[in-house]
Amino acid sequence: MAELKTARVLTTHGNHGLAAVDGDPPQPFSFRRSLTRPLPGDSIELDQAGQLSAVHPRHNEFGRGDRHGRFRASAANIDQMLIVIAAEPAPSADLVHRYLTMASLQSITPIIVINKTDLPTPQSSAFDDLDDLRALGYRIIRVRCKPKPELADLREVLSGRVSVLAGQSGVGKTSLTNALVPDRDDQVGALSTATGKGVHTTSTATLIRLPEPNTWLLDTPGVWEYSLWQMPPSALIQGFPELANWPERCRFRDCRHDNEPGCAIRAAVEDGQLPASRWHAWQRLLKEQDRLGHG
């Protein structure tokens, strides 16, 4: 039997890509379309000819909903998601809540990163909700690249993990990556050449190696708004673990935690035991699901 090498996918385009092999330079590889399409972050087996032989089972996938409401994965095997927001451009009311939902559903640890902390904090619901999220146990760190970089807390949480930088266009994800990875341009240039995409890979998720051992950063394309995919309320609620795991039970098993009589969640919100901001976000995302075809 031909010897196989285990590798980690860095990026793909078409039917070829680039993978990291321990102790060797990144290796180009190709794959048949009949196989599972490899994603950045996948652990794979390559044969001696540089052909994909197998994709190892994934423990999670990172992705978003497409325009048809279907989940589209863009990366795999992510340890934590760094949800980057900034004063400019200010995030929409539910951007952070959508990312938190996806992270919970895919068993990815979320960390909220406030970038551009040299700018005044805006008066917006997205920033107003951060105190409630912190009280629920979500970690929030503050960073900036200008005028003087302050990235120590971010470097600490990255060490030894595979992390994804997620956020809307303009929040400074590229500036953060450049500050964290001194040879980012060289790595991205090599990946672009290997996949035939030219110099820029801003339309493709790209896994970048950081200087610390076993530390990787997935740079994703910027979005104006992150979209969830179609799912029933019983799945959506799992993206709100403080609601899903509330010890008291509602009167009805299919309770939407709205105006139903005997709703334990609504009672806990009214009593101040659960944050109203999360309940309001749940209601908005539930109505969004109704528009996608689930009620």
DSSP letter assigned to residue 57: P
pLDDT at 192 > cutoff 70: no
Residue spans in the chain of domains classed CATH 2.40.50: 5-55
Q: What percent of the chain has pLDDT over 90?
A: 62
Is residue 170 a contact partner of residue 183, using CB atoms and an 8 Å limit?
no
Q: Taking the CB of residue 49, how many other CB atoms lie within 10 A of it?
A: 9
CA distance 164 to 16: 22
pLDDT tens profile 137-185: 999 999 998 888 899 999 999 999 999 999 888 999 888 988 888 766 6
Dihedral Cα 199, 203, 209, 211, nearest 10 deg = 70
Residue spans in the chain of domains classed CATH 1.10.40.50: 233-292
Q: What is the mean pLDDT of residues 190-217?
A: 71
Given the candidates 3.40.50.300, 3.40.50.150, 1.10.760.10, 3.40.50.20, the CATH classification of the domain at 61-219 is 3.40.50.300
CATH of domain 233-292: 1.10.40.50
pLDDT at 14 > cutoff 70: yes
Confidence of residue 200 (pLDDT cuts 50, 70, 90): very low
Residue spans in the chain of domains classed CATH 3.40.50.300: 61-219
Confidence of residue 221 (pLDDT cuts 50, 70, 90): confident
- pLDDT given at position 105: 97
Average pLDDT for the chain: 89
pLDDT at 201 > cutoff 50: no
**Which residues are within 8 A (CB) of 291 and not within 5 positions of it... i.e. 6 or more apart?**
none
Confidence of residue 246 (pLDDT cuts 50, 70, 90): very high
Pair type for strands 43-46 and 5-13: antiparallel
Judge residue 247's burial from the number of C-beta atoms within 10 Å of its C-beta, 0-12 exposed, 13-18 middle, 19 or more buried: exposed
Given the candidates 3.40.1350, 3.30.70, 2.60.40, 2.40.50, the CATH classification of the domain at 5-55 is 2.40.50
Q: What is the mean pLDDT of residues 195-218?
A: 74
pLDDT tens profile 61-109: 999 999 889 999 999 999 999 999 999 998 988 999 999 999 999 999 9
CA distance 207 to 217: 6
CA distance 15 to 31: 6
